[in-house]
Amino acid sequence: MVIEDDINLAELLEYELMDRGFHVSYFKSGRKAFQKLKSSPPDAIVLGILLEEGEMGGWTILWELKGSADLNEIPVFVSIALDEREKGISLGAKDYLVKPYKPSQLSKVIMHTLLSNGKQGHILVPQAFP
C-alpha cells in the first residue's frame, strides 16, 4: 500500500513497484487508506507523512498501526522530505527514506524485508483519484 498525497511521486513509486512485480494499491487519503488496510491488510506500507490538510496524517497512521494487535506486524516504510528518522523509527517504521530518493532504493528495501518475513509483496498504494 502506498499512502501519499503527492500524485507525481505516488505514480513514480507505483510504476517502480509494479515493474518489480509488486501488486500495488494507492491512496491519497490517509483516512481512506487506514480504513482499507483494516479490512484488507497489505504486506507492506509506503507512508507519506505530510498528507493533505484535514486528513489523517502519516504520524497518526503509524502510531495507530503500531498500537493495533492486528496490524502492528505490517512493515512501514516512511517516505518524507524532512529528516526525522529518529521519530519514524521510534514510532515503529521499518525504514525511513528521505525524499528525493531513487524509487529502486525503495523497492529493494521492501523486497528484502518481505523476503526475510516470508511475504510475497502485496503493497497498498492510496488512490489519487476518487
Residues 75, 79, 82, 83, Cα dihedral to 10°: 40
Predicted pLDDT at 119? 58
Residue 14 and residue 107 in contact, taking contact as beta carbons nearer than 8 Å:
no
Residue 78 and residue 95 in contact, taking contact as beta carbons nearer than 8 Å:
yes
Predicted pLDDT at 97? 84
Of residues 117 and 1, more confidently modeled: 1
Condensed to tens digits (0 to 9), the pLDDT of residues 55-65 reads: 788 999 999 99
Condensed to tens digits (0 to 9), the pLDDT of residues 1-36 reads: 999 988 888 888 888 888 888 889 999 888 999 999
**Where does residue 112 rank: exposed (0-12), middle (13-18), buried (19+ CB within 10 A)?**
exposed
Cis peptide before 130 (omega within 30 of 0): no
Residue 96 and residue 3 in contact, taking contact as beta carbons nearer than 8 Å:
no
Task: State the chain's mean pLDDT as an integer.
Answer: 83
Percent of the chain beyond pLDDT 70?
A: 88
Q: Where are the beta strands (DSSP E) in 57-102?
A: 76-80, 95-98
